Copies of this chain bind each other. A is one copy, B any other.
Amino acid sequence: MTGTRTGDVMTAIRSRIASRALAPDEKLPSIRSFAKRMNVSPSTVVDAYDRLAAEGIIRSQRGSGFYVCSPLAPLDLATIGPKLDREIDPFWVSRQSLDAETDMLKPGCGWLPPDWMPNDGIRKAIRKLARASDALLSEYGSTRGSKKLRHFLGRQLADEGINARPEQIMLSISGTQAIDLICRFLLRPGDSVIVDDPCYFNFQALLKAHEVNVVSVPYTASGPNMQRFAEALTAHKPRLYITNSALHNPTGATMSPQTAHQLLTLAAKHDLTIVEDDIFSAFEPSSSPRLASLDGLERVIRIGSFSKPLSASIRCGYIAARADWIEALIDLQVATNFGGPSPLTSEMLFHILSDGSYRKHMEDVRQKLSKKRLSVAKELSALGIVPWLMPRGGFYLWCTLPEGLDSAHIAREALKHNLVLAPGNVFSPSQTMAHYMRFNVSQMSDPKTLTVLKNVIASSRN
Protein backbone atom coordinates (compact mmCIF):
# COMPACT_ATOMS: atom_id res chain seq x y z
CA MET A 1 0.00 0.00 0.00
CA THR A 2 2.96 2.35 0.67
CA GLY A 3 3.72 4.66 -2.22
CA THR A 4 0.16 4.56 -3.58
CA ARG A 5 -2.14 7.52 -3.10
CA THR A 6 -4.42 5.50 -0.81
CA GLY A 7 -1.35 4.44 1.15
CA ASP A 8 -0.25 8.08 1.53
CA VAL A 9 -3.62 9.07 2.95
CA MET A 10 -3.53 6.11 5.35
CA THR A 11 -0.03 7.05 6.52
CA ALA A 12 -1.07 10.67 7.04
CA ILE A 13 -4.00 9.64 9.24
CA ARG A 14 -1.94 7.09 11.13
CA SER A 15 0.72 9.65 12.01
CA ARG A 16 -1.92 12.18 13.12
CA ILE A 17 -3.35 9.54 15.45
CA ALA A 18 0.10 8.58 16.73
CA SER A 19 0.99 12.22 17.45
CA ARG A 20 -2.41 12.77 19.06
CA ALA A 21 -3.19 15.45 16.51
CA LEU A 22 -6.27 13.26 16.21
CA ALA A 23 -7.36 12.08 19.66
CA PRO A 24 -9.33 8.90 20.49
CA ASP A 25 -13.02 9.32 19.62
CA GLU A 26 -12.28 12.50 17.63
CA LYS A 27 -13.99 12.88 14.28
CA LEU A 28 -11.76 12.56 11.23
CA PRO A 29 -11.57 15.36 8.63
CA SER A 30 -14.40 15.11 6.13
CA ILE A 31 -13.72 13.17 2.94
CA ARG A 32 -13.97 16.30 0.79
CA SER A 33 -11.74 18.53 2.92
CA PHE A 34 -9.05 15.90 3.43
CA ALA A 35 -9.02 15.09 -0.30
CA LYS A 36 -8.34 18.76 -0.96
CA ARG A 37 -5.62 18.96 1.68
CA MET A 38 -3.88 15.80 0.37
CA ASN A 39 -4.47 16.78 -3.24
CA VAL A 40 -6.14 13.47 -4.10
CA SER A 41 -9.63 12.51 -5.27
CA PRO A 42 -12.42 12.00 -2.68
CA SER A 43 -12.69 8.33 -3.67
CA THR A 44 -9.04 7.82 -2.67
CA VAL A 45 -9.81 9.17 0.79
CA VAL A 46 -12.92 6.95 1.03
CA ASP A 47 -10.79 3.95 0.13
CA ALA A 48 -8.14 4.87 2.70
CA TYR A 49 -10.71 5.46 5.45
CA ASP A 50 -12.39 2.14 4.66
CA ARG A 51 -9.11 0.29 4.92
CA LEU A 52 -8.22 1.99 8.19
CA ALA A 53 -11.68 1.12 9.49
CA ALA A 54 -11.18 -2.52 8.45
CA GLU A 55 -7.88 -2.45 10.37
CA GLY A 56 -9.72 -1.16 13.41
CA ILE A 57 -7.76 2.12 13.59
CA ILE A 58 -10.84 4.24 12.92
CA ARG A 59 -14.52 3.43 12.92
CA SER A 60 -17.34 4.59 10.72
CA GLN A 61 -20.47 5.83 12.42
CA ARG A 62 -23.45 5.52 10.15
CA GLY A 63 -24.66 8.79 8.77
CA SER A 64 -22.09 10.75 10.70
CA GLY A 65 -18.56 10.08 9.44
CA PHE A 66 -15.38 8.45 10.71
CA TYR A 67 -13.94 8.55 14.23
CA VAL A 68 -10.67 7.54 15.81
CA CYS A 69 -11.09 4.29 17.73
CA SER A 70 -10.74 4.30 21.50
CA PRO A 71 -7.59 2.69 22.84
CA LEU A 72 -8.26 -0.97 23.49
CA ALA A 73 -7.53 -3.31 26.31
CA PRO A 74 -4.47 -5.21 25.16
CA LEU A 75 -5.68 -7.90 22.79
CA ASP A 76 -2.77 -10.25 23.34
CA LEU A 77 -4.44 -13.36 22.01
CA ALA A 78 -1.13 -15.20 21.94
CA THR A 79 -1.20 -15.57 25.71
CA ILE A 80 -3.93 -18.17 25.55
CA GLY A 81 -1.96 -21.35 25.00
CA PRO A 82 -2.36 -24.90 26.25
CA LYS A 83 -2.64 -25.07 30.01
CA LEU A 84 -0.23 -27.25 31.91
CA ASP A 85 -2.45 -27.40 34.97
CA ARG A 86 -5.53 -28.76 33.22
CA GLU A 87 -7.00 -31.89 34.72
CA ILE A 88 -6.43 -35.10 32.75
CA ASP A 89 -10.08 -35.63 31.86
CA PRO A 90 -11.87 -36.56 28.62
CA PHE A 91 -11.26 -32.99 27.40
CA TRP A 92 -7.54 -33.14 28.01
CA VAL A 93 -6.42 -34.46 24.65
CA SER A 94 -8.89 -32.41 22.62
CA ARG A 95 -8.13 -29.06 24.25
CA GLN A 96 -4.36 -29.63 24.33
CA SER A 97 -4.11 -30.84 20.76
CA LEU A 98 -6.61 -28.42 19.21
CA ASP A 99 -5.01 -25.43 20.95
CA ALA A 100 -1.41 -26.55 20.47
CA GLU A 101 0.95 -23.94 19.04
CA THR A 102 2.28 -24.76 15.58
CA ASP A 103 5.73 -25.63 16.93
CA MET A 104 4.38 -28.37 19.18
CA LEU A 105 4.68 -32.05 18.39
CA LYS A 106 1.38 -33.91 18.62
CA PRO A 107 1.64 -37.73 18.59
CA GLY A 108 -1.40 -37.60 20.87
CA CYS A 109 -3.68 -35.89 18.37
CA GLY A 110 -6.31 -37.54 16.21
CA TRP A 111 -5.55 -36.36 12.71
CA LEU A 112 -2.99 -36.54 9.91
CA PRO A 113 -0.36 -33.82 9.40
CA PRO A 114 -1.27 -31.15 6.81
CA ASP A 115 1.26 -32.41 4.25
CA TRP A 116 -0.48 -35.81 4.18
CA MET A 117 -3.77 -34.29 3.07
CA PRO A 118 -5.20 -33.89 -0.47
CA ASN A 119 -4.30 -30.20 -0.58
CA ASP A 120 -4.21 -29.96 -4.38
CA GLY A 121 -7.68 -31.43 -4.58
CA ILE A 122 -8.90 -29.03 -1.90
CA ARG A 123 -7.42 -26.02 -3.71
CA LYS A 124 -8.94 -27.16 -6.99
CA ALA A 125 -12.34 -27.47 -5.31
CA ILE A 126 -12.01 -24.01 -3.75
CA ARG A 127 -11.22 -22.46 -7.12
CA LYS A 128 -14.30 -24.16 -8.56
CA LEU A 129 -16.30 -22.71 -5.70
CA ALA A 130 -15.41 -19.16 -6.74
CA ARG A 131 -17.51 -19.80 -9.87
CA ALA A 132 -20.56 -21.08 -7.99
CA SER A 133 -23.97 -19.41 -8.32
CA ASP A 134 -24.93 -16.40 -6.21
CA ALA A 135 -27.54 -18.54 -4.48
CA LEU A 136 -25.00 -21.14 -3.42
CA LEU A 137 -22.68 -18.40 -2.15
CA SER A 138 -25.22 -16.69 0.04
CA GLU A 139 -28.33 -18.73 0.81
CA TYR A 140 -29.07 -21.22 3.57
CA GLY A 141 -29.06 -24.79 2.34
CA SER A 142 -31.99 -27.19 2.40
CA THR A 143 -32.66 -28.85 5.74
CA ARG A 144 -31.36 -32.28 4.62
CA GLY A 145 -28.25 -30.79 3.02
CA SER A 146 -26.80 -30.86 -0.50
CA LYS A 147 -28.64 -33.26 -2.81
CA LYS A 148 -25.51 -34.05 -4.78
CA LEU A 149 -23.53 -34.97 -1.72
CA ARG A 150 -26.34 -37.10 -0.29
CA HIS A 151 -26.70 -38.83 -3.64
CA PHE A 152 -22.97 -39.58 -3.55
CA LEU A 153 -23.22 -40.92 0.00
CA GLY A 154 -26.23 -43.03 -0.96
CA ARG A 155 -24.15 -44.73 -3.63
CA GLN A 156 -21.28 -45.27 -1.22
CA LEU A 157 -23.63 -46.87 1.27
CA ALA A 158 -25.14 -49.01 -1.49
CA ASP A 159 -21.65 -50.32 -2.27
CA GLU A 160 -21.52 -51.56 1.30
CA GLY A 161 -24.87 -53.24 0.87
CA ILE A 162 -26.75 -50.58 2.83
CA ASN A 163 -29.80 -49.57 0.87
CA ALA A 164 -30.53 -46.11 2.26
CA ARG A 165 -33.46 -44.35 0.65
CA PRO A 166 -32.96 -40.61 0.05
CA GLU A 167 -35.18 -39.73 3.00
CA GLN A 168 -32.87 -41.81 5.21
CA ILE A 169 -29.79 -39.60 4.75
CA MET A 170 -29.11 -36.13 6.14
CA LEU A 171 -25.98 -34.02 6.40
CA SER A 172 -24.74 -32.74 9.75
CA ILE A 173 -22.19 -30.16 10.89
CA SER A 174 -19.69 -32.82 11.92
CA GLY A 175 -19.51 -36.47 12.94
CA THR A 176 -19.59 -35.38 16.58
CA GLN A 177 -22.62 -33.16 16.08
CA ALA A 178 -24.34 -36.09 14.34
CA ILE A 179 -23.94 -38.22 17.51
CA ASP A 180 -24.99 -35.26 19.64
CA LEU A 181 -28.22 -34.85 17.67
CA ILE A 182 -28.95 -38.56 18.02
CA CYS A 183 -28.34 -38.39 21.77
CA ARG A 184 -30.65 -35.40 22.07
CA PHE A 185 -33.29 -37.28 20.14
CA LEU A 186 -33.08 -40.68 21.86
CA LEU A 187 -31.77 -40.03 25.36
CA ARG A 188 -33.13 -38.50 28.54
CA PRO A 189 -31.01 -37.65 31.59
CA GLY A 190 -30.46 -40.80 33.62
CA ASP A 191 -30.72 -43.20 30.66
CA SER A 192 -27.92 -45.75 30.31
CA VAL A 193 -25.56 -45.86 27.33
CA ILE A 194 -22.93 -48.52 26.59
CA VAL A 195 -19.50 -47.49 25.32
CA ASP A 196 -16.33 -49.50 24.86
CA ASP A 197 -13.53 -49.53 27.42
CA PRO A 198 -11.35 -47.98 26.06
CA CYS A 199 -13.33 -45.72 23.73
CA TYR A 200 -12.89 -42.40 21.92
CA PHE A 201 -12.55 -39.88 24.77
CA ASN A 202 -15.05 -37.46 23.32
CA PHE A 203 -17.87 -40.03 23.57
CA GLN A 204 -17.50 -39.63 27.33
CA ALA A 205 -17.42 -35.83 27.17
CA LEU A 206 -20.50 -35.86 24.95
CA LEU A 207 -22.42 -38.29 27.15
CA LYS A 208 -21.52 -36.26 30.22
CA ALA A 209 -23.18 -33.26 28.55
CA HIS A 210 -26.31 -35.41 28.21
CA GLU A 211 -26.22 -36.39 31.88
CA VAL A 212 -26.63 -40.08 31.14
CA ASN A 213 -25.30 -43.13 32.92
CA VAL A 214 -22.24 -44.40 31.03
CA VAL A 215 -21.80 -48.18 31.16
CA SER A 216 -18.54 -49.47 29.74
CA VAL A 217 -17.79 -52.94 28.38
CA PRO A 218 -14.19 -54.14 27.88
CA TYR A 219 -13.13 -54.07 24.25
CA THR A 220 -11.26 -57.06 22.87
CA ALA A 221 -9.29 -57.50 19.65
CA SER A 222 -12.49 -58.62 17.91
CA GLY A 223 -15.03 -56.20 19.40
CA PRO A 224 -16.69 -55.81 22.79
CA ASN A 225 -16.50 -58.72 25.25
CA MET A 226 -19.86 -60.29 24.45
CA GLN A 227 -20.47 -61.93 27.81
CA ARG A 228 -19.94 -58.60 29.58
CA PHE A 229 -22.05 -56.88 26.95
CA ALA A 230 -24.95 -59.27 27.60
CA GLU A 231 -24.62 -58.69 31.35
CA ALA A 232 -24.65 -54.92 30.85
CA LEU A 233 -27.82 -55.20 28.78
CA THR A 234 -29.60 -57.10 31.53
CA ALA A 235 -28.29 -54.99 34.39
CA HIS A 236 -28.71 -51.50 32.92
CA LYS A 237 -31.31 -51.75 30.12
CA PRO A 238 -29.31 -49.24 28.05
CA ARG A 239 -30.99 -47.25 25.32
CA LEU A 240 -27.90 -46.86 23.13
CA TYR A 241 -24.52 -48.37 22.30
CA ILE A 242 -21.99 -46.05 20.63
CA THR A 243 -18.96 -47.54 18.92
CA ASN A 244 -16.53 -47.08 16.03
CA SER A 245 -16.88 -49.43 13.11
CA ALA A 246 -14.08 -50.31 10.68
CA LEU A 247 -11.15 -49.27 12.90
CA HIS A 248 -11.77 -48.81 16.60
CA ASN A 249 -10.48 -45.68 18.36
CA PRO A 250 -8.11 -45.92 20.25
CA THR A 251 -7.22 -49.60 19.77
CA GLY A 252 -7.30 -49.91 15.98
CA ALA A 253 -9.14 -53.23 16.40
CA THR A 254 -11.84 -54.46 14.01
CA MET A 255 -15.05 -56.16 15.05
CA SER A 256 -15.32 -59.78 13.84
CA PRO A 257 -18.36 -60.89 11.82
CA GLN A 258 -19.34 -63.27 14.67
CA THR A 259 -19.29 -60.47 17.23
CA ALA A 260 -21.27 -58.21 14.90
CA HIS A 261 -23.94 -60.87 14.41
CA GLN A 262 -24.14 -61.68 18.15
CA LEU A 263 -24.32 -58.00 18.97
CA LEU A 264 -27.26 -57.41 16.65
CA THR A 265 -29.09 -60.47 17.95
CA LEU A 266 -28.71 -59.20 21.51
CA ALA A 267 -29.64 -55.66 20.46
CA ALA A 268 -32.90 -56.91 18.94
CA LYS A 269 -33.74 -58.88 22.09
CA HIS A 270 -33.13 -55.90 24.36
CA ASP A 271 -34.38 -53.19 22.01
CA LEU A 272 -30.98 -51.50 21.94
CA THR A 273 -30.16 -48.85 19.33
CA ILE A 274 -26.59 -48.76 18.02
CA VAL A 275 -24.68 -45.72 16.74
CA GLU A 276 -22.00 -46.90 14.34
CA ASP A 277 -19.43 -44.12 14.03
CA ASP A 278 -17.65 -44.86 10.78
CA ILE A 279 -15.20 -41.98 10.45
CA PHE A 280 -12.13 -44.16 9.83
CA SER A 281 -13.55 -46.30 7.01
CA ALA A 282 -11.37 -44.69 4.33
CA PHE A 283 -8.30 -46.01 6.14
CA GLU A 284 -9.28 -49.68 5.98
CA PRO A 285 -7.33 -51.88 3.55
CA SER A 286 -10.56 -53.75 2.76
CA SER A 287 -14.09 -53.40 4.03
CA SER A 288 -14.82 -55.09 7.36
CA PRO A 289 -18.37 -56.14 8.32
CA ARG A 290 -20.58 -53.21 9.23
CA LEU A 291 -23.40 -53.40 11.74
CA ALA A 292 -25.45 -51.19 9.43
CA SER A 293 -25.04 -53.60 6.50
CA LEU A 294 -26.12 -56.60 8.58
CA ASP A 295 -28.99 -54.70 10.15
CA GLY A 296 -30.14 -52.56 7.22
CA LEU A 297 -30.57 -49.36 9.30
CA GLU A 298 -33.32 -50.88 11.43
CA ARG A 299 -31.74 -50.36 14.82
CA VAL A 300 -28.32 -49.20 13.65
CA ILE A 301 -27.69 -45.50 12.98
CA ARG A 302 -24.72 -44.96 10.73
CA ILE A 303 -22.75 -41.76 11.02
CA GLY A 304 -19.63 -40.55 9.25
CA SER A 305 -17.56 -37.50 8.38
CA PHE A 306 -14.66 -36.44 6.19
CA SER A 307 -12.40 -34.85 8.80
CA LYS A 308 -9.92 -37.71 9.02
CA PRO A 309 -9.24 -38.66 5.38
CA LEU A 310 -9.90 -35.33 3.70
CA SER A 311 -9.85 -32.21 5.87
CA ALA A 312 -10.84 -31.30 9.40
CA SER A 313 -11.21 -27.72 8.21
CA ILE A 314 -14.12 -28.74 5.97
CA ARG A 315 -16.70 -29.53 8.58
CA CYS A 316 -19.41 -31.91 7.45
CA GLY A 317 -20.82 -35.19 8.65
CA TYR A 318 -23.83 -37.34 7.83
CA ILE A 319 -26.42 -39.58 9.40
CA ALA A 320 -28.11 -42.57 7.77
CA ALA A 321 -31.02 -43.96 9.75
CA ARG A 322 -34.73 -44.79 9.74
CA ALA A 323 -36.67 -42.23 7.71
CA ASP A 324 -38.92 -41.17 10.62
CA TRP A 325 -35.88 -40.64 12.82
CA ILE A 326 -34.17 -38.56 10.15
CA GLU A 327 -37.27 -36.37 9.94
CA ALA A 328 -37.13 -35.73 13.70
CA LEU A 329 -33.36 -35.19 13.63
CA ILE A 330 -33.78 -32.56 10.91
CA ASP A 331 -36.26 -30.64 13.05
CA LEU A 332 -33.78 -30.84 15.90
CA GLN A 333 -30.96 -29.59 13.69
CA VAL A 334 -33.10 -26.66 12.54
CA ALA A 335 -34.02 -25.82 16.14
CA THR A 336 -30.45 -25.97 17.38
CA ASN A 337 -28.43 -24.74 14.39
CA PHE A 338 -30.98 -23.45 11.87
CA GLY A 339 -29.96 -26.19 9.46
CA GLY A 340 -26.93 -28.26 8.61
CA PRO A 341 -23.51 -27.65 7.14
CA SER A 342 -22.72 -24.64 4.99
CA PRO A 343 -23.82 -25.21 1.37
CA LEU A 344 -20.40 -23.88 0.32
CA THR A 345 -18.72 -26.55 2.44
CA SER A 346 -20.89 -29.36 1.07
CA GLU A 347 -20.24 -28.23 -2.48
CA MET A 348 -16.49 -28.13 -1.89
CA LEU A 349 -16.61 -31.59 -0.36
CA PHE A 350 -18.60 -32.97 -3.27
CA HIS A 351 -16.04 -31.58 -5.73
CA ILE A 352 -13.18 -33.25 -3.89
CA LEU A 353 -14.89 -36.60 -3.35
CA SER A 354 -16.16 -36.89 -6.90
CA ASP A 355 -12.79 -36.11 -8.40
CA GLY A 356 -11.07 -39.32 -9.47
CA SER A 357 -7.77 -38.26 -7.90
CA TYR A 358 -9.15 -38.62 -4.38
CA ARG A 359 -9.15 -42.42 -4.55
CA LYS A 360 -5.50 -42.45 -5.61
CA HIS A 361 -4.65 -40.06 -2.82
CA MET A 362 -6.23 -42.36 -0.25
CA GLU A 363 -4.41 -45.36 -1.65
CA ASP A 364 -1.12 -43.52 -1.12
CA VAL A 365 -2.11 -42.55 2.41
CA ARG A 366 -3.02 -46.14 3.28
CA GLN A 367 0.34 -47.38 1.97
CA LYS A 368 2.27 -44.70 3.84
CA LEU A 369 0.39 -45.48 7.04
CA SER A 370 0.99 -49.18 6.68
CA LYS A 371 4.76 -48.57 6.60
CA LYS A 372 4.58 -46.00 9.40
CA ARG A 373 2.68 -48.34 11.70
CA LEU A 374 5.48 -50.88 11.38
CA SER A 375 8.38 -48.45 11.75
CA VAL A 376 6.86 -46.55 14.67
CA ALA A 377 5.91 -49.82 16.42
CA LYS A 378 9.56 -50.85 16.17
CA GLU A 379 10.81 -47.49 17.49
CA LEU A 380 8.36 -47.53 20.38
CA SER A 381 9.17 -51.13 21.25
CA ALA A 382 12.80 -50.08 21.65
CA LEU A 383 11.57 -47.77 24.45
CA GLY A 384 9.58 -50.58 26.03
CA ILE A 385 6.31 -49.23 24.62
CA VAL A 386 4.46 -52.16 23.07
CA PRO A 387 1.40 -52.11 20.76
CA TRP A 388 -1.57 -54.00 22.18
CA LEU A 389 -2.29 -55.25 18.66
CA MET A 390 -1.17 -54.41 15.15
CA PRO A 391 -4.14 -52.65 13.46
CA ARG A 392 -5.18 -53.50 9.88
CA GLY A 393 -5.21 -49.80 9.03
CA GLY A 394 -5.41 -46.28 10.37
CA PHE A 395 -2.95 -44.13 12.25
CA TYR A 396 -3.30 -45.26 15.86
CA LEU A 397 -1.19 -47.59 17.93
CA TRP A 398 -2.62 -48.38 21.35
CA CYS A 399 0.36 -49.28 23.48
CA THR A 400 1.33 -50.38 26.96
CA LEU A 401 4.06 -48.40 28.71
CA PRO A 402 7.02 -49.96 30.50
CA GLU A 403 6.11 -51.44 33.90
CA GLY A 404 5.43 -48.90 36.63
CA LEU A 405 4.95 -45.81 34.44
CA ASP A 406 1.82 -43.70 34.68
CA SER A 407 0.72 -42.30 31.32
CA ALA A 408 -0.96 -39.20 32.84
CA HIS A 409 2.30 -38.28 34.54
CA ILE A 410 4.26 -38.88 31.33
CA ALA A 411 1.77 -36.77 29.35
CA ARG A 412 2.02 -33.84 31.80
CA GLU A 413 5.81 -33.97 31.75
CA ALA A 414 5.88 -34.23 27.94
CA LEU A 415 3.67 -31.13 27.63
CA LYS A 416 6.38 -29.10 29.37
CA HIS A 417 8.58 -30.06 26.42
CA ASN A 418 5.92 -29.14 23.84
CA LEU A 419 4.87 -32.72 23.21
CA VAL A 420 1.13 -33.49 23.29
CA LEU A 421 0.42 -37.12 24.23
CA ALA A 422 -2.80 -39.09 24.69
CA PRO A 423 -2.70 -40.87 28.08
CA GLY A 424 -4.69 -44.10 28.44
CA ASN A 425 -7.17 -43.07 31.08
CA VAL A 426 -8.75 -40.30 28.99
CA PHE A 427 -10.09 -43.20 26.87
CA SER A 428 -11.13 -45.36 29.80
CA PRO A 429 -14.52 -44.93 31.46
CA SER A 430 -13.39 -47.42 34.13
CA GLN A 431 -10.12 -45.47 34.63
CA THR A 432 -8.13 -48.69 34.47
CA MET A 433 -5.80 -47.83 31.57
CA ALA A 434 -3.14 -45.70 33.25
CA HIS A 435 -0.43 -47.90 31.72
CA TYR A 436 -1.69 -47.38 28.16
CA MET A 437 -1.05 -44.59 25.69
CA ARG A 438 -2.37 -43.90 22.17
CA PHE A 439 0.14 -42.88 19.51
CA ASN A 440 -0.63 -41.34 16.12
CA VAL A 441 2.04 -42.79 13.81
CA SER A 442 1.56 -40.08 11.17
CA GLN A 443 2.57 -37.39 13.69
CA MET A 444 5.89 -38.98 14.65
CA SER A 445 8.16 -38.20 11.72
CA ASP A 446 10.11 -35.53 13.60
CA PRO A 447 12.94 -37.36 15.43
CA LYS A 448 12.50 -34.95 18.35
CA THR A 449 9.27 -36.79 19.19
CA LEU A 450 11.05 -39.97 20.22
CA THR A 451 13.91 -38.09 21.87
CA VAL A 452 11.58 -36.12 24.12
CA LEU A 453 9.55 -39.24 24.85
CA LYS A 454 12.69 -41.17 25.76
CA ASN A 455 13.92 -38.39 28.07
CA VAL A 456 10.57 -38.00 29.77
CA ILE A 457 10.39 -41.76 30.37
CA ALA A 458 13.95 -41.84 31.69
CA SER A 459 13.35 -38.94 34.11
CA SER A 460 10.03 -40.44 35.24
CA ARG A 461 11.83 -43.60 36.31
CA ASN A 462 14.22 -41.78 38.61
Give 1 or 0 for each of A334-348: 1 = CB within 8 Å of chain B CB. Answer: 111111011111000
Question: Closest residue to A366 on the B side, CB-wise?
Answer: B62
- How many whole Å from A437's CB to the nearest CB in chain B? 21
Proximity bits, A264-298, B CB within 8 Å = 1, else 0: 00000000000000000000111100000000000
Distance of A12 from chain B, by nearest CB (Å): 17
User: Which of B166, B314, B336, B337 is in CB contact (< 8 Å) with A80?
Assistant: B166
Q: Who on chain B is nearest to A189 by CB? A: B189
**Complex CA distance for A50 and B359, rounded to whole angstroms:** 7
- Binary B-proximity of A60-75 (CB < 8 A = 1, otherwise 0): 1111100001101101
Interface pairs (16), CB distance under 8 Å: A55-B354, A62-B363, A94-B143, A94-B334, A95-B330, A95-B331, A98-B141, A102-B135, A114-B133, A114-B138, A126-B130, A127-B130, A141-B313, A173-B177, A176-B335, A205-B335
- A285–B111 touching, CB < 8 Å: no
| A250 shortest CB reach to chain B, Å | 15
Binding site for B on A (CB under 8 A): 47, 50-51, 53-56, 59-64, 69-70, 72-73, 75-77, 79-80, 91, 94-95, 98-99, 102, 111-112, 114-115, 117, 119, 122-123, 126-127, 129-131, 133-144, 147, 150-152, 154-155, 158-159, 163, 165-167, 173-177, 180, 184, 189, 202, 205-206, 208-209, 284-287, 307, 310-315, 330-332, 334-339, 341-345, 353-360, 363, 366
Cβ 8 A contact of A73, one of B99, B163, B314: B163
Point out which of A79, A173, A354 has the most chain B C-beta atoms below 10 A from its C-beta: A173
* A208 proximity list for chain B (CB < 8 A): 335
Q: How far is the CA of A341 from the CA of B337 in the complex (A)?
A: 12
